[in-house]
Structure 1
Amino acid sequence: MDMQSRIESEDVRVRVSNDEDRQSSRRHLQIGGVADGDKIRKQTSSNEELARPSKKEVDRDALGKPSGVYIPPFKLASMLNDEKDKSSVEYQRLTWDAFRKSINGLVNKVNANNIKNIIPELFAENLIRGRGLFCRACIKSQMESPGFTDVFAALVAVINSKFPQVALLLVKRVVLILKRAYMRNDKPQFLAAVKFVAHLVNQQVADEIIAFELLTVLLENPTDARVEMAVAFVIECGALLQDVAPKGLHGIFDRFRGILHEGEIDKRTQYLIERLFAIGRAKFQGYPAVRAELDLVEEKYSHDVSLDEEIDPETALDVFKLDPDFVDKEQKYEALKKELLGEEESEDEDGGGCDASSEDNDAEEEEMRISDETATNLVNLRRTIYLTIMSTVDFEEAGHKLPKIKLEPGQEMELCIMLLECCSQEKTYLPYYGLLGQRFCMLKKIHQANFEKCFVQQYSMSHRLETTKLHNVATFFAHLLCRDALPWHVLGYIRLTEDYTTSSSRIFVKILFLKLSDDLGIKILNERLQDPTMEESLESIFPKDNPKNTRFAINFFTAIGLGGITENLREYLKNMRHQKQVAESSSSSSSDSDIEKQKRTRRS
């Protein structure tokens, strides 16, 4: 395997370099130690007094080194205050130790309840300078407490939204740990790393490609241990993979079925696979990708790190190193921190009058609101939706990307309008749009209500649509009706009479019902239309208020080849004629009897 050979080559290079360093140091000691020994001993006694540092310097050197020596907080603070030169080695070392202890403390105490309070404290530290320490603290805490993996992943996701380079370094290190644990057969460490990768994928910090790469490696030569790890991994991140890449997840499930059919694994492992199938059939209910309290980020950026690539863990970032631009970088991060945390810069008080005038100006600025009369934001939103729809390969990818577009309240209608607009512009109808509209209707009720409004608007403006657009739009809504993504009572907006229809609207109704008949069949369509609960809604399509309108509806559906759905309407028209004839005959007989009575009275 590529991954195995690369890891072995990395370990060989590390061992060779270490051996060379040890041999060179030995040669140096052997060559220079004997010749210079006497000279060094002579100079030691003479220079001892000059080279002896002061007590203050000894304390700083002893306590400032990152050797794990405990420094009480009050003493560390006093040492930082005493050091006036912020660019000096001592000051930088002290701030490095303070940062290391702060990061370790914050990461160790984070949980789902206090994560929102920990995040501002983390941003208060210089995460760019200490990204190596942050990644090391997160990985160490996760390895020791795998039960809090989703919390650490949520923390990394928030950091990733502001400092992607920090999250990228962590993903690289986790993947490297995973590869080394796999080669060394270190099951506890490998399981912890697999769980971390799963939750980083759930938070979309790591791209889903690495999930399929890992599953492919585990299931290529299946053993009981590897299949067990693969099952645990799919349970952790299956809910996300089902939404993001359902075809890939389907391929993984096919591989699990193949392993079951081969029958070369233990009974316990077979039960694990069957349990995974049951969870998959239930759409991973009870195993959400991200818990509600840990879904903290809207703007997500995924890092594509592959198992096959060579990874540099950048371990040099974990140790102290003198930075000549330390002061400038700290000032820049301080400004960035104020922007992130929403802090306001303090201003010097020049005078009461100046302060009052500045406060008045601030109040006036707060009261002023900018209104966009040019609808620039709306145009940009429509452009974004259009480009997303046209650039995706299939409706599943579009259904994953479009909900990520940030919509202001009331802008949900724009999504439905743009989807219909793109559908109508096609030369022929593409099922892509119907499937995408169906997904939105199933996701949220507001989209279903908006598509219902769009149905009314499109039907009322059918006379403005060209024949191709008319066909595409009618077929789109027929698809939604067939899949019950749109309620059937929307057909009540159509009034099928000679006076209330135009040639365009009749073409719209024709295409709509022919598509319904093709997808459902004439029998099921007739059953839907004859449903007692739909009788009131469909009175406008099958009118019974006037024989003229009734005959028009019967003739219309018969002309388009759907006369079978008008049987009840024909029966109603026949009964209405019979009742009219009976009424006329009864009225004529009563008039005849009146005439006879009048004749008899005259004779008498």
Structure 2
Amino acid sequence: FLGKSHSHGATKYVPPQVRKAQEALDDKKREELGRLKKMVNGLINRLSEPNLSSISGQLEELYMANSRKDMNETLTDILMNACVTAVAMPARLMMEHVLLVSVLHHTVGIEVGAHFLEAVVKKFDELYKSDAEGKECENLFALVAHLYNFHVVHSLLIFDILKKLVSTFTEKDIELILFLLKSVGFSLRKDDPLALKELISEAQSKANTVEKKLQDQTRVRFMLETMLALRNNDMRKIPGYDPEPVEKLRKLQRTLVHNSGSGKETQLRVSLESLLNADKVGRWWIVGSSWSGAPMIDGTNSKTQQKLRIGKVSSKIMELARKQRMNTDIRRGIFCVLMTSEDFLDAFEKLLKLGLKDQQEREIVHVILYCCLQEKTYNPFYAFLASKFCAYERRFQMTFQFSIWDKIRDLGNQTTTAISNLVSLLAHLLRTKSLPLSILKVIEFSELDKPNVRFLRQVLSMLLIKTDAEDLSDIFGRISENPKLGMLREGLKLFLTHFLLKNVQAHKSGEEASLLKERAELASKALQAKESRPKL
């Protein structure tokens, strides 16, 4: 008996009552998911252009009432089942389904579009490799094309897919290239004419090399003619091209998302490789996405060995880099570029030319922030450079946000000069909308200590005084729209009235004090604009 119990000691004993509770919980979860699926399915089945507004509103409410993970998975599964079939789906139906995703992407959050996009791209990769006979690949392509048409994804992904198809260049690839160019070719020409020109020349050279291998030469010629028509902006030479249905639905999209930040700022600038390797390298394009895995360790040694192309640098600069504890080649390279650049644009271009990848790229942000805080007097060069990087790629914006959070949490250990420089940098990034005001959610308003009060007072004073009234309403109004930022809104309203405006006359001149009071009232109104708006 003892021997028997010893052999089974490896498995953990779960008491019957705990086991029953877990099973009941699983059953309850399954039942809830089944009910949710039925509700979403009912809404998607009724989807059409006239009722798109009401259905998107009902789905928004479901997002508010349920977990986002469950909603994203349910919505993606239902849309994929509806759109990805072995027969070609009607273009109108595809557009309406993707328009719904686009509306939710702008109103609920970018994780909606990101989840759907990742599922579509991975499904396409799987079917493309398996040489599926049906029209599934064309249907998936139509979804990707319309996600681009309705500003969910950036042209970067479309060019990545086209380059992949041009590199293999089989008859199936040629058909898919034609399909994609017909759908979004003129939009690509408008967004990135240089990349399109490069793609066309690549396709022409590829067509010349594989000319004898392909049986159907007419399709290759037709593809090249289509590309030339795009380059010359000649719509007549593309048979069946009709931009009107997309334009009509774009107008509808603008009316449905006019209150949210629609347009370029919510576009996912993500590459094909990043989407396919999302499970390995994480989803950096989604704010706050959880991920457990080794952070891009593979091949780190070979990457760090590469020599940075920074040109000749004087011994004085190298000595300065050593004094500032720039203890790796990458940090020294970034530091030398910052110290030797003519202006922030020159620095931006030179830093991009260093060709840093993955976590090496984050060092750019750390070094910019470090140098900015070390300056004896504030240097706006770093703020303009930081704004440029935030506007260039979303991942830089996220790295700046996390780095600034670390500095805010560590205010007690910072010097007075460093805090003053951080205040000026953050105020500039908020004023130029490079970073959202939600960055301040890291501050616990219920447990404010003296350094935090002083820091927040300085940031908000500078932001209120130096920003135009219209921009100020927009900056504060943005956080009024997000239900998750309720605590931040209440904290800011309380801080503006009790900490910022209290004793303002003693610290500021009469004119500056009255301006600050006026702007603080404007900011408070903007913070509660969405809350006080009646729901119809």
TM-score of the alignment, normalized to the shorter chain, above 0.5? no
Q: Normalising by structure 1, what TM-score?
A: 0.36
Greater relative contact order structure (CA < 8 Å, 6+ sep): 1
So what's the TM-score if we normalise by structure 2?
A: 0.40
Please say which structure displays the higher CA radius of gyration.
Answer: 1
